Amino acid sequence: MADQKKLFIKTYGCQMNVYDSERMAEALGGAGYIATDTPDDADMILLNTCHIREKAAEKVYSELGRFKGLKAAKPELKIGVAGCVAQAEGAEIMRRQPMVDLVVGPQSYHRLPAMEAKAGNGQKALDTDFPEEDKFAHLAARPKAQRGPSAFLTVQEGCDKFCAFCVVPYTRGAEVSRPVDRVLDEARDLVERGVREITLLGQNVNAYHGAGAGGDWSLARLIRELARIDGLARIRFTTSHPNDMDDDLIAAHGDCDKLMPYLHLPVQSGSDRILKRMNRSHTAEQYLRLIERIRAARPDILLSGDFIVGFPEETEADFAATLALVEQVRYGQCYSFKYSTRPGTPAAERAQVDEDVKADRLQRLQALLSRQQAEIQDAMVGREVGVLFEKPGREAGQLVGKSDHLHAVHAQAGAERIGQVARVRITGSGANSLAGQVVEV
């Protein structure tokens, strides 16, 4: 159609931003936009930003600088910044980069069509409010196009934990859970369009307490209801806080077949002193006992986690406690980072650890985590696992999918298996993936 405009979205950060970018694209679809994979021919460029990584704001400004030539050559090009950096920086983005037409926070993107229209009239559009209305209720119905086999579904946003290093409570706001009926309706719609695996998302997803029949529902109750949907083969959830891992959710890992044996449960440090300084509200021992209970419910579960090294005032003894905890837990996957300051958070004002010390500790921690991951993957060889095939592989006749434990698995199989869960015997282990052979039933 001649009146269609092209939208380029670049997404930074977590799975929730991936989901948000999808919904932003759908919202702007009503304003005549279709997706493009390159900014060069776009009529609108939207950066959906994350504030978790080091120097996140400066990286956004650097990225915006790359678009100056495009804007000069095409003055009608609209440029927008969304997400957590938008929420944190607000009008400062427009001050530093006057070519930016709109800035929208993560709780206000349902207003994007109106903001785009305002920008089209030559006005700047800024919205970083925490609106009272439910943004999901104001988004247009999702288009009925076919989807890939896996999809994200946001069920909870915000966080009330106020960890000393984290900006999420300031950029995403307080914990809010979507009503049960809306989550179930969106899940059913996704399944009707070909989705076989849904990952439930939240900044603190296991704090879910959505309104439903009989009162607020827990995440475990929501998962059990989702498991009743015909055609939905797999359920996952991320990211969790140890303090909200209740008995019923632990039990669900053992009694709900559709809930996959994979759990991302960040601890951040193995030192009680540092955990207290982080305001994590749990000890290393409490975390380890929780892991024991989870593994008792689901012995084959693969655990993932997050670690911050070089947190303010961390000593070598504190770091040694982290290594000791990792040795006890044995993680199949993990994410580890050097601490970097976030303005406005309590930890930013404390005595900082030397950068060389941080780098050394990160290298030692990642070496241990990499060894554990390799050992766990090597132990998969010879086992049979379920694999949801998602797309063709690089080699002819090869498909790529995710195992029950979220490993990437490559196997020779026909394209007709895309969207199906097959039994696969693992035959080899690589750096970040497994090789397998489909077991014919």
Residue 334 annotated as binding site: no
CATH number for the domain spanning 288: value is 3.80.30.20
pLDDT tens per residue, range 415-440:
999 999 999 999 999 988 999 999 97
Distances (CA, A) of 47 to 40, 42, 154, 336: 14, 13, 19, 25
| 108 phi/psi in degrees, rounded to 5 | -120, 10
- Per-range mean pLDDT, top range of 53-67, 73-87, 291-305: 291-305
What pTM was computed for the model?
Answer: 0.84
Averaged pLDDT score across all residues of the chain: 92
Within this chain, do residues 396 and 362 fall inside the same structural domain, yes or no? Answer: no
Q: Residue 59 pLDDT > 90, yes or no?
A: no
Q: By C-alpha distance, which of 323, 319, 345, 429 is closest to 385?
A: 429
| pLDDT of the residue at 371 | 97
DSSP annotation of 259: B
Within this chain, do residues 120 and 167 fall inside the same structural domain, yes or no? Answer: no
Q: Residue 142 pLDDT > 70, yes or no?
A: no
Residue 256 annotated as binding site: no
Among 100, 127, 154, the domain-final residue is 127
Gap between the Cα atoms of 64 and 94, Å rounded = 11
Coil, strand, or helix at residue 21?
A: helix
CB 277 within 8 A of CB 307: no
The amino acid at 253: H
Q: What percent of the chain has pLDDT over 70?
A: 95
The amino acid at 90: G
Q: For residue 35, give every residue at least 6 positions away whose Cβ sits within 8 Å of its Cβ, in sequence order, or none.
A: 6, 7, 8, 9, 25
Q: Residue 143 pLDDT > 70, yes or no?
A: no
Within this chain, do residues 72 and 141 fall inside the same structural domain, yes or no? Answer: no
CB 29 within 8 A of CB 66: no
CATH number for the domain spanning 88: value is 3.40.50.12160
Within this chain, do residues 356 and 396 fall inside the same structural domain, yes or no? Answer: no
pLDDT mean over 264-288: 97
Q: Which residues span the domain enclosing 114?
A: 5-127
Within this chain, do residues 39 and 184 fall inside the same structural domain, yes or no? Answer: no
Among 345, 360, 378, the domain-final residue is 378
